[in-house]
Structure 1
Amino acid sequence: MAVEDIVRRIHETPWQTVLVAAGGGSQAIADLLKVPGASRTVLEARIPYSPASLQDWLGGPPEHACSEGTARAMAMAAFLRARELCLSEHPEGGNNVLVAGVSCTASLATDRPKKGPHRIHVAVQRVEFTRSYSLVLNKGARSRGEEEEVARRLFLQGIAAACDVQFNEEIPLLTGESIEHRQAEAPPAWGSLLLGEVDAVSVGVPHDWEKGRPPLIFPGAFNPLHEGHLRMARLAEARLGRPVEFEISILNVDKPPLDYVEMKHRVEQFSLQERVWLTRLPTFLEKARRFPGCTFVVGIDTLLRIADPRYYRHEPGLRDRAIAEISQLGCRFLVFGRVVQGRFVTLDEVDIPPQLRALCEGLRESEFRHDISSTEIRRTGQNPTQIPGV
């Protein structure tokens, strides 16, 4: 089947898309636009070529401009943009609009040598699933134009998948090359969470709240979960005599929500005996409203952010009102020391508002110290299960 025939079939579907390409693959967008009917399929197309443009699309700098994770984040941003555009024209559609975000990020041959591999990552985001296609090219085996042709076809395959169209065109691979596929299907509750129909869903074994004692809530990204997190949870349970439930907000300020591949990966780090909440609660005030009466398990770095007016539009009054409401909701903080700017810091050593300090209980360095962070683990590629506590 010729590319034009595939594009024509895409245009015949009811799916509407936002497409975004960085570093390669933009010819696939041109393929869609030159076949009549593109206005039914393409709501918007973006080519964020500069680092600043990509950062603007994602709401912040990615850890790597060309990676499978960045492709998924780009596709999620495109999905949300597609919903926004579609609902602006058809508000009656609600959460039933048929939209998808499709992305391509590539690092291809250029006029200067590249240190890393030449590679292409394509991602598709729909309310039902997240899907990605990754291909590492044999470096130096193709011209830039030939690599662009591979990116074009892989991007088209993603667009076809987004619109439930079978892609039968051959992608010209060389010996040793293969396309890696990843997909996560969303349970209905996760789709409701992404669309904002609910603000929290839980996974794992629920704990008994009947005695009127809410559990301990341990918020974090857990990217990855490591031994320090697990030790904090066990120490918190032993100290306060209540079970810990972990909480991961899929929303982060100015960034796309976590996609289903990422949600699945983070949840699967925990044992089946742990209860994990996925929420749309990026701030502690929102968490307190959802879990009144709970004690939050936090590191001192997190507590300092709660105290910092910069996170309240630089308005100390907003911060003070948020802390006051957290207090009124009966919430408290169990605070663990962390390395901050190269020095291990505990609750006793920080300057925070008195009304926040009144809600806090801290552990001494002799009770807990673990210097490795999730950021450091990602940077060095260490195995998080083999990092001992101090």
Structure 2
Amino acid sequence: MDVAWARLIADVQGSGRQAVLAVTGGGTAAIAELLRVPGGSRLLLEAIVPYDPRSLAEFLGQAPEQACSAETAVAMAERARGRAAAIARPEAVPIGLGATASLVSDRPKQGDHRCHIAVAMDAGTELTSIVLDKGRRDRPAEEDLVARAIVLCLAQGCGVAAPPLETVLAAGDRCTRRSLPSSSPIDRLLSGALARVTVCPDGQLAASAPTPSAVLPGSFNPRHAGHVGLARTASQILGTPVHFELSVLNVDKPALTAREVRRRLAQFAWQATVELTRAPTFLEKSRLFQDVTFVIGADTAERLVAARYYGDSETRMHAALQEMAERGAHFLVAVRRDEAGRVRSLADGVVPARFAGLFTEIPESRFRFDVSSTELRADSGQEATG
């Protein structure tokens, strides 16, 4: 390996970024190049080659209109970045790279020989499209060019000074570059463009999924066995799946960052569906999820019927409860121990008689869990971030 090339890869490895690569159609040698230089584990989290159309469709969550297109490369990069954010070290900057190519084959091709390389970062996506001088190279030479272009694009995305792409191109090749704003549903939700995103167990994101019948809200910092057990018990009682719900906004804390959101979502990977929202209060949640049962602890139920959480106004509290009732909200309440060590039940809250029908208590014999996320953070020395 050329000394300058090896030094470039070493610089990328030491950039503080961690990446997931998704490559299809050609250029897979880039993965090997990144690992030939010692230190690859500092950079590369995962490399995926969804080569078969069915594999690519599963990776993206749907079949692309065209396997080799700029749109597909961008979708692959954003999917890879989401994966990187979920598994990267807390101090690392996650990056996703998607590359798709159409190169020399054993069958003649009518279209251009080309590749599209997208690098997705927090600020957006850098897209590079290359059209090769058709007939100039054989398959190994085209593979080598695309692999080197992938490494150069990754280096630039990692903030490393890299040779321009023109150094690997010939006179008949054409290259264009574009900077794109992020189109990730999570980023759009954080910006306020979306009110809700459904995160499936496999990581697929949906902006308009059907409304669930039951939701268990929480901060999940961290998620613990109590959350899992309560969701399971509630599902058995209600006879319907229970989705978890995480609001990126908090009444009295800063909004969650994209990185923090993805860290918390990673706890549910391949296990549960999460509704990501911008609804910090139950009144706002009821507007977003109509005819839904909210699964909550007794301490939360107490706050729902306490005037002090409505500016010391019983009128405002009654108005909020009335609106929630009109929107079909119901609350399934679990017994739990509060921070003072007292066991709290629905009976500890003074529920206005006219709203008693909104609340149903889970018998203590069916469920009670006494450890909170706050206690788990304290035990681990982790700071609260919302």
Larger Rg over CA atoms:
2
TM-score w.r.t. structure 1 length? 0.49
TM-score w.r.t. structure 2 length? 0.49
